[in-house]
Amino acid sequence: MDSRDWGAFLLPYEQTVEELKVKFKTMRSELKKLEEYAPIEFVTGRVKKISSILDKAKRLSVPMDQLEQGIEDIAGIRIMCQFVEDIRRVAEYIRARKDLRVIYEKDYITNYKESGYRSFHMIIEYPVQTALGLKNVLAEIQIRTLAMNFWATIEHSLNYKYRESLPDEMRGRLKKAAEAAFVLDNEMSSIREEILLAQKSFEDESSIVNHLLTAIHQLYFYHMVSEAIEAQQRFNELWETRDMEGLKEMHTEVTQKIKAAKKALESGDDNV
């Protein structure tokens, strides 16, 4: 058994995972604001367990003094997308980044594994600033759709249960499930525009409601209690019938009242 201080050994990998998660989540937010649609659905990350590192080192015949170079996925980031075509787009964004270096890629979507596994992998080198100085850490980024991720998660759990020796019958069923997931991804891509329009409509409605309720609350701040109560009642009526046009008009009216109250307050009008 290796006698190294595993806590100290894994610290740079833990820092790498946390920093990359923040960066890719920020990328998602920026793309959402710029284009109203982000190819990144959500981001997760993990550091490989010590037992998994040891198992992989043994399986790949990696000497214990070469773990940092021989095992490339001790730090792992997973990026989920809604649509298959988003995967290539995310990969392009990653290649263009200046804060990491792509070493090589593995396309398991075009060249999927015999098991049915599909995903796009990028092995990167990421410079992390530790207490002892700059350290270049290898990490693996997996980019996949939600359907691919669901299948891969189930397959991983079953492989763990059967110690990588899945019964043939189980392998066959998993392969059929992988094919079904791929069909689902293709079908979702074919109705992509309808899905995106529906999502945008939902987000627009949520935004209107949020802003209007915030504006009604501001009426209380300016001591316009009767107006606030009246506005709340009107909001309830409009929301009951899902009258979004009426809610938009109401938001404009309430906003104008708040602006007038704010202007009066700044001018020193005591009647506000």
Which residues are registered as beta bridge partners of 135?
Answer: 128
Residues 6+ apart with CB under 8 A from 43: 21, 24, 25, 28, 77, 78, 79, 80
Residue 140 is among the residues annotated as catalytic for this protein: yes
* CA angle, 210 then 213 then 215, to 5°: 105
Task: Report the Cα–Cα distance between both ends of the chain, in Å, rounded.
Answer: 76
Q: What is the pLDDT of residue 269?
A: 60
Q: Alpha helices, DSSP H only, in 103-243?
A: 146-161, 168-190, 192-221, 225-240
Position with higher pLDDT, 180 vs 3 = 180
Q: What is the mean pLDDT of the chain?
A: 93
**Rounded Cα distance, 260 and 254, in Å:** 10
Beta partners for 142? Answer: 78, 121
Q: Are 157 and 97 in contact (CB under 8 A)?
A: no
135: left (phi over 0), alpha (psi -120 to 50) or beta: beta
Identify residue 87 by its one-letter amino acid code.
Answer: I
Tell me the pLDDT tens digit for each residue of 259-272.
998 888 887 665 54
Q: Which residue has the higher pLDDT, 165 or 14?
A: 14
- Domain ranges within the chain, ordered by starting residue: 6-166, 168-271
Side-chain-facing half-sphere of 76: CA atoms under 13 Å: 14
- Of all residues in the chain, the percent with pLDDT exceeding 70 is 97
| CATH number for the segment(s) 6-166 | 3.30.460.10
In the chain, % of residues over pLDDT 90: 82
Per-residue pLDDT band at 62 (split at 50, 70, 90) = very high
pLDDT at 41: 95
d(CA 80, CA 25): 11
Burial class of 190 by CB neighbour count within 10 A (0 to 12, 13 to 18, 19+): exposed
Residue 235 has a pLDDT of: 96
Element (H, E) at 42: strand 42-47
Pair of tokens at residue 9: 């050994």
Task: Tell me the longest C-alpha to C-alpha distance in the chain.
Answer: 82
Is the model's pLDDT at 44 over the cut of 90?
Answer: yes
CA-to-CA separations, 204 to 72, 136, 191, 194, 209, in angstroms, rounded: 42, 43, 20, 15, 9
Residue entry with tokens 């989540």 = 25
In this prediction the pTM is 0.81
What is the Cα Rg of the chain in Å? Answer: 26
pLDDT given for residue 165 in this prediction? 83
Name the catalytic one among 19, 72, 140, 155. Answer: 140
Three-class secondary structure of residue 118 per DSSP: coil
Q: How confident is the model at residue 137 (pLDDT cuts 50, 70, 90)?
A: very high
Torsion of CA 92, 94, 100, 104, to 10 degrees: -60
Reported as a pLDDT band with limits 50, 70 and 90, residue 78 is very high
